[in-house]
Amino acid sequence: MARRKKSSGFEDMLDLLAMLPWWICVALAAASYFFLHPWAVVPPTADIAGRPGDMMAAVVQKGLIYGLASIGQYLLPFMCLIAAAMSAWRRKQRKALVSTVAQAQDAAALDGISWREFELLVGEAYRLQGYRIIELGGNGPDGGVDLVLLKGSEKFLVQCKQWKAQSVGVAIVRELYGVMAARGATGGFVVTSGRYSNDAQAFARGRNITLVDGPQLFAMVQRARQSMLSPRTERAPATVTKPQAAVAAAPSAVAPSTAQPACPRCSAAMELRTARQGTHAGKSFWGCSTFPGCRGTLAAA
């Protein structure tokens, strides 16, 4: 990704808080005010007794606490409320970004967005698959990791590369694999708007790393948009007479095995295949259509 500009501690804190849902930021604003407000009361000097030196130290200490609490009781809630607005805006921005890209003709739309929008798009695509997202931005000491995906007790690392003119080489994939081992991640994803070199694809085979190229990401975004729209589309239950119900019963029993599912790892379309060797030889299963780039599988009904 592009190199980030240096930011201040205040901006870093806002960015960190904005990763939380907006309602949590609002709750933190209220909690910080009610916690600090009692400390923002001038301590009576008459209650401080003891030797002059101890009294002076106590006065200075309480005065320092008073000063910090007086500022903090307004500054921290203000920061939390700004972060809440940023969080709500980013959520709206992500949804709009998914809708805009999904309505494009092909994966070339991925090249027309900024690197920041590219990361937001990737994060939202995985969020709508049921992952919890932690945005790192790739500017830390973690080998350029941009996102952390959490699902249950499993952790996955994501590196985003919006490279238009060159393919992603094996060095990037090898670097992510090393970070995965160091952080105990279950798996990893490298997501690009372009393609991968042959060496990169060969290195990812046999390791729990999924390479997602431009067309695969575009398909993920389109499915993400469908998942956003599907809860709003409610169809009225059809009135079926007994003869119609008897006729409809046969296709409904076959539908689960013939419907083409999406890959649980990269969301690409899956193909029905037959195992040729091993304990499951001769049995059917769903395999990712991008194999060997992705080795996601599902049991066939």
Higher pLDDT, 5 or 18: 18
- Among 63-72, 184-193, 215-224, whose mean pLDDT is lowest? 63-72
174 pLDDT band (50/70/90 cuts)? very high
For the chain, the domains span 9-100, 109-228, 265-276+283-300
Domain 109-228 sits in CATH at: 3.40.1350.10
Q: How many CB atoms lie within 10 A of CB 172?
A: 21
Rounded Cα–Cα distance for residues 268 and 222 (Å): 10
196 pLDDT band (50/70/90 cuts)? very high
- Which pLDDT value is given to residue 38? 84
Quick check: 139 pLDDT over 90? no
What's the mean pLDDT when you consider all of the chain? 76
- Among 71-85, 171-185, 251-265, whose mean pLDDT is lowest? 251-265
187 pLDDT band (50/70/90 cuts)? very high
pLDDT tens, position by position, 42-55: 655 545 555 555 66
185 pLDDT band (50/70/90 cuts)? very high
Rounded Cα–Cα distance for residues 264 and 278 (Å): 23
Q: What global pTM score does this model have?
A: 0.57
Structure tokens at 233: 């589309």
Q: What is the 3-state secondary structure (H, E, C) of the chain?
A: CCCCCCCCHHHHHHHHHHCCCHHHHHHHHHHHHHHHHHHCCCCCHHHCCCCHHHHHHHHHHHHHHHHHHHHHHHHHHHHHHHHHHHHHHHHHHHHHHHHHHHCCCCHHHHHHCCHHHHHHHHHHHHHCCCCEEEECCCCCCCCCCCEEEEECCEEEEEEEECCCCCCECHHHHHHHHHHHHHHCCCEEEEEECCCECHHHHHHHCCCCEEEECHHHHHHHHHHHHHHHHHHHCCCCCCCCCHHHHHHHHHHHHHHHHHCCCECCCCCCEEEEEECCCCCCCCCEEEEECCCCCCCCEEECC
- Which pLDDT value is given to residue 240? 38
Higher pLDDT, 203 or 287: 203
